[in-house]
Structure 1
Amino acid sequence: MDKLAIIGTGYMARIIANRAKELNIETHCFSIDEHSVAGEVCDFFHNVNILDIDALTEVCRKIDVNGVVATTELTIYPASVVAKRLGLNGNDETVSKEVTDKTIIRRKVKNIEELFQPRFWICGGIQDIPKINNYPVIVKPIAAGGKRGISVVKTSDNIKTAITEALSVSKVKGVLIEEFLSDGQEYSVESLSYHGSHYIIQVTQKDSSGPPHCVELGHHQPAELLHEMRKKVEKVVSRILTTVGITDGPCHTEIKIIDGKIYLIELNGRPGGDHIAYPLTELSTGYPYITGIIQVALNKLDETQLKNFEKNYSGVHFVTTQTAYMKPIFDNCETEQWLYYKNKVSDKLSPITHNDGFNTNYFIYYSREKKPNFEDMKGKNYE
């Protein structure tokens, strides 16, 4: 029986552990949180700090694991180092260390043909704020996930507050200040790499709250792109992955398309969260994406499955104060054939200031025939 080391014990770790068990793979989760969601489902829980790479390596060597997977930005580098120390499949350690640093990625991909980037500045703190002539800008932590610490700043009066907020959550000292791209549509791309070959699994279209925090309020697959643009996205993202040095495992690449031009927002060397990687990508394509991620870690990817994907429709709507117009649909969606899953946290709606895909009201839709027309449903009388 293969043994899989899962670094972290959050929601993605739980998803991976559940799938591995379905595949008759022994699961070992690592964290200091014994009451975490993945700790409840894995075969073996190890109370080890996910940042203590020597301790992780020692336990994984003793167990004789066959693969190591990361589950969040924080675990990408530790998982890569452990895999390499044990002679297992994974990305180069330097690549894994750099992939979470937005500034390094921006510099690496600057010469890719047909890829555009906003103007950007690197700032170490409020003591060295760069001279910015044109606002608005968006201030981001150099290394953080889930839209945490992100703010759109419209005037210089608010730049110090935004920088302080970003610094408070960044895993790397400093912040990235970028020209705010107010136009266009946001997308994300789920990919799987294996021994240097890149497979684009799905493109997701995003609903964004817009300024000040640009929180994601919904995800829809497949993205509404013309065939030519879809192929262009696949080509450009594959070039990004090669240029950055990704060889193995999943990536979640965020882009924006403005007047036919593809702009890079950021790259994350892990599966997409907020239900994107699972279940949406698996529902819309018919491809077991989580299984593929596990197979890559075990160096056993079945590449014959990575073609002729299904063309189904799936998505998630987060029902918050920002999307209060969706509440009547949310309250009555149990009667709809397209309902895949409904998560109710509270009758009272609350705002979200960063991506929080599990602890808020949401519903997931799925259809093999056509995307549900939610615009028409907004006026539907459910009484």
Structure 2
Amino acid sequence: MKLAIIGASPGQYYLCRKAREMGVETLCFAWEKGAVCRDLVDKFYPISITEEDEILRICRQERIDGVVSNASDKTSELVAFIAEEMHLHGTRRSVIRATRDKTFTREISQHIEGLTPIRYYDYEGGTPGFFPCVIKPVPGAGKRGVSFVDSEKEFREAIRYAEAEPHRAILVEEYIRGREVSVETISYEGQHHVIQITDKETTGAPHFLELAHHQPSTVPPEIHDTICRVIPRLLSAVGFENGAAHTELKIDGKNIYLIEINARGGGDEISNRLVELSTGYDYVRGMIEVALGIFKAPATEGKRYSGVYYLCEQTAGRIPFFKSATGKPWLVEMTMDFDTPTLSSATKNRERNGFMVYQSDHKIEEGD
């Protein structure tokens, strides 16, 4: 079988490696600069992913059987375009675009049984209608352009911060207190499978930078069960059909609020590493099987724990924890150069300095 992979950044590395393990012939389309996946694929085309028609022409010429990418909003739309044009297993491009529109998904969520509505409106000038609130670009991910606001001065500053992003449409929504989780799913022909729920650690206000993720979530069993019922309804309501999705929620008591839907696997090592480490289900392989139309319903093994910790200026206190992790049986990977200890004061996920991935029979915390 023949698979097109869109993008060659680190986010696609595990897809390329897994396809090779599966004996699948691969074509990869990406800029040559920074293409870490180049040597993992059978054919590499140094073409910008903005060259949609040329990539489609090559895919047709090569008679591909599927097309896939992961953990990237930029590539997911092109994947949808090629799949739709070639009648392959994918989700329609219009749906991918709709899930990136936070106003649209917010409206859909108001009518899903099990989700609690949130007050919101599209910003068109003026002062906020309520405090506290969160300002965010309507499309966007990775916490880019997101701010917490509790005064008119903060509101003006947050609007300027959001307007600096490429997309200028801005959403103002009620600030919800509580814990944040994400839901990792895989869908095939409109059937949705909840694979794992992830606990998130963030800086909180004002920019909600993500500092760690842990699986499985420690939400109460009744909340877990409600999430597993609600998310398939939500994905069906927006028209999502095929592939991985990463849906972010806030939990406050018994109330479950939608934050956003991402029509892709979760970044921050969640989809590429943590899901398989905690469940035993080969999530990346599942994405490839969906794309190729050979998907089988997933089975998970006994409960294990996995997670990722990030370093930046806000988590400088974790440096001793990182250093002491070397040689521990639970350490899967660490990427941090301690000889250059300067840490970034990050406001976006992409600005963090290094990370550490673990797997264990319990949640790993400082002191383990």
Question: What is the TM-score normalised by the length of structure 2?
Answer: 0.94
Q: CA, structure 1 residues 35+370, in 2 after alignment: closer, same or farther (shift >3 Å)? A: closer
Deviations for 1:69-105, whole angstroms, at most 9, x for unmatched residues? 1331122222111112112111123212212111111
Deviations for 1:10-45, whole angstroms, at most 9, x for unmatched residues? 222122111111111122221234432233433322
Q: CA, structure 1 residues 130+43, in 2 after alignment: closer, same or farther (shift >3 Å)? A: farther
Equivalence map 1:169-318=2 (5 Å): 169-171=165-167, 173-181=168-176, 183-303=177-297, 306-318=298-310
Q: CA, structure 1 residues 117+42, in 2 after alignment: closer, same or farther (shift >3 Å)? A: farther
In 1, the alpha carbon distance for the partners of 2:238 and 2:308 equals 30
Task: Give 2:357's aligned residue.
Answer: 364
Compute the displacement of 1:131 (Å). 4.3
Q: Does 1:164 align with 2:160?
A: yes
Contact 2:247–2:262 at 8 Å: present in 1 too? yes
Contact 1:191–1:250 at 8 Å: present in 2 too? yes
In 1, the alpha carbon distance for the partners of 2:296 and 2:173 equals 40
In 1, the alpha carbon distance for the partners of 2:104 and 2:155 equals 22
What's the secondary structure of 2:28's corresponding residue? strand
Task: Give 2:348's aligned residue.
Answer: 354
Count of equivalent residues? 365
In 1, the alpha carbon distance for the partners of 2:205 and 2:35 equals 33
Amino acid at match of 1:162: A
Task: Give 1:381's aligned residue.
Answer: none
Task: Give 1:78's aligned residue.
Answer: 78
The sequence identity of aligned pairs, in percent, is 35
What's the secondary structure of 1:165's corresponding residue? helix
Task: Give 2:41's aligned residue.
Answer: 42
Ranges in structure 1 where 5+ consecutive residues have no aligned partner: 378-383
Contact 2:212–2:310 at 8 Å: present in 1 too? yes
Question: What is the TM-score normalised by the length of structure 1?
Answer: 0.90
Compute the displacement of 1:371 (Å). 2.1
In 1, the alpha carbon distance for the partners of 2:200 and 2:180 equals 6
Compute the displacement of 1:116 (Å). 1.7
Runs (4+) off by over 6 Å: none
In 1, the alpha carbon distance for the partners of 2:209 and 2:310 equals 11
What's the secondary structure of 2:349's corresponding residue? coil
In 2, the alpha carbon distance for the partners of 1:38 and 1:145 equals 23
In 2, the alpha carbon distance for the partners of 1:161 and 1:45 equals 44
Equivalence map 1:31-180=2 (5 Å): 31-71=30-70, 72-123=72-123, 128-171=124-167, 173-180=168-175
Contact 2:80–2:91 at 8 Å: present in 1 too? yes
Deviations for 1:293-350, whole angstroms, at most 9, x for unmatched residues? 00000001122xx134331000011122212222111011113221111111333333
Contact 1:30–1:46 at 8 Å: present in 2 too? yes
Amino acid at match of 1:3: K
Task: Give 2:318's aligned residue.
Answer: 326
- The answer to which of 244-253 and 108-117 deviates more is 108-117
In 2, the alpha carbon distance for the partners of 1:253 and 1:92 equals 18
In 2, the alpha carbon distance for the partners of 1:6 and 1:166 equals 31
Task: Give 2:22's aligned residue.
Answer: 23
Contact 1:256–1:262 at 8 Å: present in 2 too? yes
Contact 1:140–1:149 at 8 Å: present in 2 too? yes
Q: Does 1:335 align with 2:327?
A: yes
Compute the displacement of 1:159 (Å). 2.5
Contact 2:127–2:152 at 8 Å: present in 1 too? no
Compute the displacement of 1:138 (Å). 1.2
In 2, the alpha carbon distance for the partners of 1:55 and 1:77 equals 15
Contact 1:109–1:244 at 8 Å: present in 2 too? no
Compute the displacement of 1:252 (Å). 0.2
Pairwise CA RMSD: 1.7
